[in-house]
Amino acid sequence: MNTAVMQTYARYDVTFEKGEGVYLFDTAGRRYLDFGSGIAVNSVGHCHPHLVAALKKQAETFWHCSNLYHIPDQQRLADRLTANSFADAVFFNNSGNEAVEMMAKIARKYQFENGHPERYRVISIAGAFHGRSLAMLAAGKQEKHLHGFGPQVDGFDQVAFGNLNEMRAAITAETAAILFEPVQGEGGIRPLDVDYVKALRAIADEYGLLLMADEVQTGIGRTGKLFGYQYFGVEPDVMALAKGLGGGFPVGATLATAKVASAMTPGSHGSTFGGNPLAMAVANAVLDIVLADGFLENVMATGKKLHTGMTQLVQKYPTLFKEVRGIGMHLGLRCQDKVVNGTVVVKAMANGLLVVPAGDNVVRLIPPMIITESHVNEAMAIMEKTCEDLLAEGAGG
């Protein structure tokens, strides 16, 4: 398409003009079942009436107010996030990248304030994705993202997925923190082992490092618990949120324990838009829904039905798929080597279902968390048709 928009995205040939609940409608009026949620963002579906009302009310009150002044809705959201997590303090920003990058800043400042200015390096895990700023490219170390953007920002090391020996060996006198995603999202819905994360906590304690959870994708109920770290029986020191937190309104948050947060003093960090009243109003409305009785139980139960359905699909089409991974409504269908995940995504879209490709040849199913069993059945029917179409075209053979 000929456009003045910078050509950084390989976009699908479709344009949406309206969203309603679990559905998106394109400019031709065609309806799509949205199991991509704008990449885990539309956590409670499109144009949820409660979010629309909150946004409208705030839009008629005031839009922006500098962080030079108190913003009550920030305090309310911070109180609710901390009451429901390990954390004691929250900084609001505008995106996942910012939320994770601030964790790297916190790691340096915390070590600096505690007598270890030499500790500044962050260790991440292969397959990670932490955002696209220069520093977060260095944290993620994905060749395809770094290409042409060298030299890498200093201060980031990476170890093999799930390998504790490598993790221990990578720690030096300069290490400040360990950074992990409870389930790697862009990396292909790869959950970390419970024992592995428990060991990361122990290692961090042993060496005086911060354990930092990137929950930009897994946070706010996506995995069936409010936060992904809650599966591991240990708590991080710092956590980043974004995607699902605003339900479609851009917002990010960096959470920390009181001890860690005390390193961040007035003037040490800031954001013009961070904690904007519109974003706070919508994020509080998202929490109204996600924290309501029974909501997370439904994410778990309906997510399980989707998982079961996908498992049946893998059994029925073994030449197309290898396995289903993930938990809650954060699921990945791993394709066989001869099948390209992008082909499955395009074919599903042609059949009216939106899903999202991820690393490791995975097709992600990350629906709005308001889906019911009937949406699962609808998605399954479309996936079956998609598999038949793929086989008819000789895929997997």
Ligand X SMILES: *Cc1c(COP(=O)(O)O)cnc(C)c1O
Q: Give the footprint of ligand X on this chain (CB under 6 A).
A: 95-97, 100, 129-131, 181, 185-186, 214, 216-217, 242-243
Least distance from C-beta 302 to ligand X, angstroms? 22
Which residue's CB is nearer to ligand X, number 100 or number 210? 100
Which residue's CB is nearer to ligand X, number 185 or number 247? 185
Which residue's CB is nearer to ligand X, number 128 or number 339? 128
Q: Label the pairing between strands 238-241 and 210-214.
A: parallel
Least distance from C-beta 372 to ligand X, angstroms? 26
Which residue's CB is nearer to ligand X, number 238 or number 339? 238
Least distance from C-beta 384 to ligand X, angstroms? 29
Helices within 84-162 (DSSP H only): 96-113, 134-140, 143-146
Phi then psi dihedrals of residue 234, to 5 deg: -135, 160
Chain position carrying tokens 């030096």: 172
Q: Label the pairing between strands 23-26 and 330-335.
A: unpaired
Spatial contact of 311 and 322, defined as CB atoms under 8 Å apart: no
Which residue's CB is nearer to ligand X, number 189 or number 382? 189
Least distance from C-beta 131 to ligand X, angstroms? 4
Q: Which two tokens stand for residue 90?
A: 């929250």
Least distance from C-beta 254 to ligand X, angstroms? 12
What are the E-state strand segments in the chain? 16-20, 23-26, 31-34, 89-93, 121-125, 156-159, 175-180, 183-184, 190-191, 210-214, 238-241, 252-256, 321-327, 330-335, 353-354, 356-358, 362-365
Spatial contact of 134 and 149, defined as CB atoms under 8 Å apart: yes
Least distance from C-beta 109 to ligand X, angstroms? 21
Which residue's CB is nearer to ligand X, number 127 or number 309? 127
Which residue's CB is nearer to ligand X, number 187 or number 309? 187
Spatial contact of 187 and 133, defined as CB atoms under 8 Å apart: no
Task: Give the integer Cα–Cα distance in Å for 246 and 220.
Answer: 10
Least distance from C-beta 69 to ligand X, angstroms? 26
Burial class (CB in 10 A: 0-12, 13-18, 19+), 32: buried
Which residue's CB is nearer to ligand X, number 34 or number 186? 186
Compute the half-sphere exposure of residue 266: CA atoms within 13 Å on the CB side of its CA: 2
Q: Which of 302, 293, 332, 340 is nearest to 314 (CA)?
A: 332
Which residue's CB is nearer to ligand X, number 73 or number 98? 98
Least distance from C-beta 214 to ligand X, angstroms? 5
Position of minimal CB gap to ligand X: 96
Task: Give the integer Cα–Cα distance in Å for 364 and 361.
Answer: 10
Least distance from C-beta 217 to ligand X, angstroms? 3
Which residue's CB is nearer to ligand X, number 33 or number 242? 242
Chain position carrying tokens 């962050």: 122
Least distance from C-beta 242 to ligand X, angstroms? 5
Spatial contact of 182 and 223, defined as CB atoms under 8 Å apart: yes
